[in-house]
Homo-oligomer: A and B are copies of this chain.
Amino acid sequence: MPVGTQGSVKSLSPEDLEDAGVRIILANTYHLYLRPGHEVIGRLGGLHRFMNWSRPILTDSGGFQVYSLAGLRRISKEGVTFQSHLDGSKHFIGPEEAIEIQESLGADIIMTLDECAPYPSDYDYVLNSVKLTTLWARRCVEKKRNKAQTLFGIIQGGMYSDLREMSARDLTKMDFDGYAIGGLSVGEDRETRDRVIKETRDFLPEDKPVYLMGVGAPEDLVEAVMLGVDMFDCVMPTRNARNGTLFAFTGRMNIKNVQYVDDERPVEKGCLCYTCRHFSRAYLRHLFMARELLAYRLNTIHNIYYYMHLMEEMRCAIEEDRFDSYRRHFYKLQGKS
């Protein structure tokens, strides 16, 4: 799902998202807690109304952003004390606060507060982090009041197979509506990541959605879907768009390249996104070189549409029991067969 860090998916309106086929967006609790504040959003009727977005929203627990504030945060059994990256003010978020904030924001799917261990971390650190994550998950379940919201638990355990198993067993006992695999995409190699996804997936119930957090590139999605993952979130389509990298089924392109200066073709032949239906590579290159704001929007629309299209194709292939052949086709189109 596209990520809306601060109450919008960067450069897009709700209609842009709907037109690109987006069914759910992610909003970052940490950012919205600090600005404009979850109480403000709560008073204004919640995030859906604030953003004018009527489809589902998922909010993260704020944990991941807080851990990224290295040097500015301290973790205890109670929760996390941290300083705002905006003004240095001091704040505390524990599992109860994470739920309270997410209830004010009013997303459809909310997440437990977890501790994402740095990579690499030694066994004892990760063991402790798994225990803390379980403890906090239980406190989140106990705190949660709003039955209209579904709560996902987050599995941790670093790259240690037995700790992933421990975390998955602890959390599945609490019978969450869905399960997220956290603590990946933190610097580990591809092989390790795939192993951990597979091992973690094996301990999760078949009938609940599995959400791989913070992943990833198109090929990462294809591999993870093969391993049984259902949901993803990532800044990759939007951030790349703003850097001029456009995704296509035949590979990526850097729209800055001089070869596109008078290229009349759309980004990808046959693509039905708004951008490809209306504008040439030459125009997109020109807007980008001239740093026109429209460049970021048109690029983002294309990349989001590409991701939605890829996920839709994978859903179809799974339903029609031909995922392996779709996967081969996917790599073949990119010249990687």
A positions within 8 Å CB-CB of B: 6-8, 10-14, 31, 35-36, 40, 43-44, 50-52, 261-262, 264, 278-280, 282-283, 285-287, 289-290, 292-294, 296-298
Q: Which residues of chain B have C-beta atoms less than 8 A from A283's C-beta?
A: 7, 44, 50-52
Q: Which residues of chain B have C-beta atoms less than 8 A from A11's C-beta?
A: 293-294, 297
In the docked arrangement, what's the CA distance between A297 and B296, Å? 11
Q: Which residues of chain B have C-beta atoms less than 8 A from A51's C-beta?
A: 283
Q: Which residues of chain B have C-beta atoms less than 8 A from A298's C-beta?
A: 13
Partner of A35, one of B7, B14, B280, B290: B290
In the docked arrangement, what's the CA distance between A285 and B44, Å? 13
Please give 17 more A-B residue pairs, beta carbons under 8 A apart, in addition to A11-B294, A35-B290, A50-B283: A6-B286, A7-B283, A7-B292, A8-B293, A10-B294, A11-B297, A13-B297, A35-B289, A36-B286, A40-B282, A43-B262, A44-B264, A50-B280, A50-B282, A50-B286, A293-B293, A297-B297
Q: Which residues of chain B have C-beta atoms less than 8 A from A292's C-beta?
A: 6-8, 10
Known contacts A261-B36, A261-B40, A262-B44, A52 near B290 by CB under 8 Å: no
Q: How far is the CB of A215 from chain B (nearest CB, A)?
A: 24
